[in-house]
């Protein structure tokens, strides 16, 4: 009897055409499987009933209907809040994600923020928009990167790639992670999360790559910013709800820190009335750090293909998620 795989409709990220292409390619590769593309939830409820595996966002109705389901491929590295609902967490189903496909794209975005702040490019861009020719004093908070320190909170794939790039330009790198990390040639020092507040005042750049979960929600607040060096910058490309924007606003307004770069926000899009828009020392990008064109779909496909192969060989799947921690 063949294994059955279902692509759940309306799961974002992939277009219907991409799913069609994937399904056809996988059907040619894995003749022991059948691949199904229901058009709507009603069809999905029927198809999922005897499926072994699925791709996409599964709600409680689909999970209840799935009597044989063993594996779910999440449609993102860190799906939106609500993806890991209580019933899914308690269910024996194995969930995998697409982590590490964004490592190079996001780390370069982080570097772009660091370079901008280090050379005051954000200030000169504002001057350009106003047609102002003015050289800033050489003493004005320009950072010599080979003598600076970056603290990376969350040293998974993105964090380590960021450390590698920062190390290449001479920066000192400190990694902070919830789990014990083996030594890395890209990190000068590594600490567990419980030691974060003791290390935070060492950083010229504080970079967050961490996911949102019940533990990290609101983690970056006024108390946190108060522990940073006054000359330092906060960068968040992880998840928006890890950072209190009101507290960040106060920290910027009160000159507790020198500035911030944000690609993710508590609520998106960022409210047009937010004070963060007006600060010259705040860089805002509209959740685009992970953009990478066709390469990302190819990487997603490669992970899915590999996991189908592992599934049928009864091997451990790639990128297995700790459902209770949402990543």
What tens digit of pLDDT does each residue of 231-287 get? 999 999 999 999 999 999 999 999 999 999 999 999 999 999 999 999 999 999 999
pLDDT of residue 112: 98
Q: How far apart are CA 206 and CA 228, in angstroms?
A: 8
Select 3-100+293-325's CATH number: 1.10.10.10, 3.40.50.280, 3.40.50.720, 3.50.50.60. 3.40.50.720
Residue with tokens 């974060």: 196
pTM (two decimals): 0.94
Q: How far apart are CA 276 and CA 266, in angstroms?
A: 13
Looking at the predicted structure, is the pLDDT value of residue 19 above 80?
Answer: yes
Domain 103-284 in the same topology as domain 3-100+293-325:
yes
Of the candidates 254, 273, 261, 288, the one whose C-alpha atom is nearest the C-alpha of residue 122 is 261
Taking the CB of residue 12, how many other CB atoms lie within 10 A of it?
Answer: 11
Token pair for residue 281? 């020392």
Q: At what angle do helices 294-312 and 16-29 cross, to 10 degrees?
A: 40
Q: How far is CA 178 from CA 156, 185, 190, 191, 239, in A?
A: 10, 19, 11, 9, 16
pLDDT of residue 11: 75
What tens digit of pLDDT does each residue of 191-228 get? 999 999 999 999 999 999 999 999 999 999 999 999 99
Q: What is the fold, at CATH topology level, of the domain defined by 103-284?
A: Rossmann fold (3.40.50)
Strand partners, 192: 177
Residue with tokens 């009597």: 67
Q: What does the domain layout of the chain look like in residue ranges?
A: 3-100+293-325, 103-284
Mean pLDDT of the chain: 96
What tens digit of pLDDT does each residue of 47-77 get? 999 999 999 999 999 999 999 999 999 999 9
pLDDT of residue 123: 95
% of the chain residues with pLDDT over 90: 90
pLDDT of residue 122: 95
Mean pLDDT across 77-86: 92
pLDDT of residue 15: 78
pLDDT of residue 1: 85
Length of the chain: 327
What tens digit of pLDDT does each residue of 103-157 get? 999 999 999 999 999 999 999 999 999 999 999 988 777 899 999 999 999 999 9
What Rg value do the Cα atoms of the chain yield, rounded?
22
Mean pLDDT across 161-173: 98
Range from 2-6, 78-82, 98-102 carrying the lowest mean pLDDT: 78-82
Looking at the predicted structure, is the pLDDT value of residue 14 above 80?
Answer: no
Burial-class residue 289 by CB neighbours within 10 Å (0-12, 13-18, 19+): buried
Looking at the predicted structure, is the pLDDT value of residue 24 above 90?
Answer: yes
């Amino acid at each position: 009897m063949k294994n059955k795989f279902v692509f759940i409709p309306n799961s974002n990220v992939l277009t219907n055409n991409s799913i069609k292409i994937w399904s056809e390619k996988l059907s040619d590769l894995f003749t022991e499987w059948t691949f199904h593309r229901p058009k709507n939830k009603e069809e999905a409820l029927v198809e999922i009933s005897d499926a072994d595996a699925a791709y996409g966002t599964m709600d409680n109705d689909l999970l209840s209907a799935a009597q044989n389901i063993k594996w779910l491929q999440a449609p993102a590295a860190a799906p939106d809040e609500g993806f890991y609902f209580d019933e899914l967490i308690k269910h024996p189903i194995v969930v995998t994600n697409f982590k590490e496909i964004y490592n190079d794209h996001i780390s370069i975005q982080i570097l772009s923020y660091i370079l901008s702040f280090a050379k005051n490019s954000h200030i000169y861009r504002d001057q350009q928009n106003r047609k102002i020719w003015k050289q800033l004093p050489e003493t004005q908070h320009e950072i010599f990167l080979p003598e600076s320190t970056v603290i990376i909170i969350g040293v998974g794939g993105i964090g380590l790639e960021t450390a590698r790039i920062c190390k290449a330009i001479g920066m000192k790198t400190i990694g902070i992670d919830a789990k014990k990390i083996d030594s890395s040639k890209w990190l000068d020092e590594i600490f567990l999360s419980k030691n974060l507040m003791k290390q935070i005042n060492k950083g010229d750049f504080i970079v967050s790559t961490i996911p949102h979960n019940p533990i990290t929600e609101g983690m970056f607040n006024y108390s946190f910013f108060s522990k940073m060096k006054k000359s330092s910058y906060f960068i968040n490309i992880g998840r928006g709800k890890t950072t209190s924007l009101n507290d960040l606003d106060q920290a910027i307004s009160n000159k507790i820190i020198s500035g911030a770069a944000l690609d993710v926000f508590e609520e998106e899009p960022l409210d047009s009335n937010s004070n963060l828009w007006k600060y010259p020392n705040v860089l805002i990008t509209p959740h685009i750090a992970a953009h990478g064109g066709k390469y990302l779909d190819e990487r997603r496909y490669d992970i899915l293909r590999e996991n189908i192969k592992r599934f049928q060989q009864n091997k451990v799947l790639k990128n297995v998620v700790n459902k209770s921690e949402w990543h």
